[in-house]
Amino acid sequence: MVKTRFTASKRRATSKVMDAVTREQVCLSLIEQLQVLRQSMHEREAAMQATLSRVSTRYQESARNLIHYLALRVHDLRPLQEQLAWLGLSSLGRSESHVMANLNKVLGILHSLTGQEWLDKSDEEPAGSVSSRRLLEAHAVDLLGTCPQGRPVRIMVTLPAVAAADYSVVRELIEAGMDIARINCAHDEASDWVAMAKNVRHAAKAIQRDVKILMDLGGPKIRTGDVAPRPAVLRMRPQRDEFGRPFKPYRLGLKSADAPTEMADVDANIEVDAKWLGHLKIGSQIDFSDARGAKRHLLVVQRDERGAIAQGLHTAYFTPQTLLTIHGADGKKWRSALAGQIESLPGALHLHRGDFIRVTRDGLGSAAVMADGEPGVVKETAHIACTLPQVIEQVRVGERMWFDDGKIGGVIRKVTDEGLEVEITQARDGGEKLIGDKGINFPDSELDLPALTEKDLQDLSAVAQEADMVGLSFVQRAQDVYQLREQLDRLGRSDIGIILKIETLKGFENLPELMLAAMSGGCAGVMIARGDLAVECGYERLAEVQEEILWCAEAAHMPVIWATQVLETLAKTGVPSRAEISDAGLGVRAECVMLNKGPYITDAIRTLDDILRRMGGHQIKKRSMLRALRSWSAKEGDGPKASNSVTGDPG
């Protein structure tokens, strides 16, 4: 027994010695690896002195830290991180904002563990763990304004067109919690933007809040051209039960052209001849043949000085050529009275997988024309124009092409002087409709397009008068940023902030260069425009790409705007989806979250405000905050209640 105890004790002692030897070897190896990383950061910084010389003095520390971060991330650090974690040291996993300082601290501890001397290296560190947070906060306040009390993230809202004329709409948005108003210069006119901005300033002053204004330049957005309108047809149909039986008739308003108002509480209004309308009475029957030749009837149920309301129980298709006939009580008939005020339906192309479509330089788009008497044979391929025809000579056969935010996908099969021949490869089983003014993306193509179009240069005059920030859409090159800064300087607005809207694959790939260029001015930020970006990089990569943008921006101490489809279902329908609630919660990692317009936008603002206030206590950037959890606090009789802090304050 004594011998057994001695042997076990000896094994434990030997194991401890071996562990100590192994630990020292690991420490020495880590010191060597970290010194190599540190040296690579110094070399990268030295090589980029020309770029750093163009950076504003207030951004010098941030620019240097960004360069250090880029040098760090060239390497696969996962094996090194495992060894650091084994020693209980920082694994550099949250060092984005203070790369050199974090690395030096780890090196200092490793030198201490191995008995080596370590000299203070703080003079080479652009920012520390505390000063880096202060830099980011200062840059965010300069660009986006201060956060409201209790919420660590600002809320930006895209203003609807009605905000130019209706002051109450703007005031309601600010009262709900809007901190930044976004004006999209791709829509409306300069006079509308000025009116919107004035309403924002007026409402913010009345509520005593500081509300910033972002004005987005349209940029070189590639869109589909107009499509030939479909025939003017008004379809009216009753409501039916589960068996297809009508139980509620449709209501059609009939009014003369000179009537001041339309009939209320109806499904649609049409204009008719005033003299013919004079013969209508309650109980009158109106007979007609609809656009299909189907015999239909209407019954007049209401009549006043404005016009009449007639009801129908069978689906009918009205056109401007529909002839209406009134049957009087004495058998007399009044004919003619064509139905007017029926607008043409917006043009649309119905596309299925396997279809071909021609993308042309100009012209009115139209659907495919089928050959007479030959089912399935296309006589003329569907075609649609592209708003930036110069892209046609910049793309190649075999490259992908996406329409309408990725709803329709295709591959370029032929390139000619007139346009592109595209085979549709992605669409729902029932097909998709493509209309005018929808986005086009070329994720595989190297497009050379200016970030500032002629229209943008004209719009900058209005932007410089009203905006606190300007959004640079589809930015791809550092030169685009310098050009915008030069234009703003020329207009006397060198103080205006620049938002880099990352919405193309090339913009993402060039993000560090774009940020360094933006640092040449007073203040700047990054918008993750997830709509176009998802189409460009692929939906399966979006989560990874937005993470990398967040990391890179934190390394540059640059505020981030989390944008596109945040609580979109809630804003449009009044009811959120479960997925978008989780997505909105992730927005706490940014400095601002953007909402788009919708009929329930104030509900969306209040919901987002609540989510961000809750999540603000749990997470800052990548770092989880260990706030006391009340959800699983011990109930009465289950033992001591969980405390809210190490001091024992109740949770």
| 35-61 pLDDT, tens digit each | 999 999 999 999 999 999 999 999 999
637: number of Cβ within 10 Å: 5
| 257-309 pLDDT, tens digit each | 788 788 889 999 988 888 888 888 999 899 999 999 999 999 999 998 889 99
Q: Provide mean pLDDT across the span 556-580.
A: 95
Nearest to 126, CA basis, from 58, 27, 176: 58
Query: Can you give the pTM of this predicted structure?
Result: 0.82
All residues at 6 or more sequence positions from 359 whose CB lies less than 8 Å from its CB, including other chains: 383, 384, 385, 386, 392, 401, 419, 420, 422, 440
| 353-383 pLDDT, tens digit each | 999 999 999 999 998 888 777 777 888 999 9
Q: CA torsion, points 22, 27, 32, 35, in degrees to nearest 10?
A: 170
Q: Record the tokens describing residue 612, joined without a space.
A: 């961000």
Distance separating alpha carbons of residues 476 and 198, to the nearest angstrom: 32
The answer to whether the beta carbons of residues 593 and 155 sit under 8 Å apart is yes
| 172-224 pLDDT, tens digit each | 999 999 999 999 999 999 999 999 999 999 999 999 999 999 999 999 989 99
The enclosing H or E element of 370 equals: strand 369-370
Cα Rg, the chain, nearest whole Å: 33
pLDDT at 333: 79
C-alpha distances out from residue 446 to 59, 220, 539, Å: 31, 14, 20
Strand partners, 502: 528
Nearest to 619, CA basis, from 577, 570, 582, 568: 582
Q: Provide mean pLDDT across the span 347-351.
A: 93
List of long-range contacts for 511-515, beta carbons under 8 Å, 24+ apart? 511/549, 511/552, 512/66, 512/70, 512/552, 512/556, 513/51, 513/477, 513/478, 514/475, 514/477, 514/478, 514/480, 514/481, 515/66, 515/552, 515/553, 515/556, 515/558
Residue 650 predicted with pLDDT over 80: no
Residue 14 predicted with pLDDT over 80: no
Read off φ and ψ for residue 438, nearest 5 degrees.
-110, 145
| 66-112 pLDDT, tens digit each | 999 999 999 999 999 999 999 999 999 999 999 999 999 999 999 99
Strand partners, 285: 299, 327
Residue 647 predicted with pLDDT over 50: no
Read off φ and ψ for residue 427, nearest 5 degrees.
-170, 155
| 595-643 pLDDT, tens digit each | 999 999 999 999 999 999 999 888 788 777 677 777 776 555 555 444 4
Q: What 3-state class would DSSP assign to 342? A: coil
Averaged pLDDT of the chain: 90
Sequence length of the chain is 651
The answer to whether the beta carbons of residues 583 and 88 sit under 8 Å apart is no
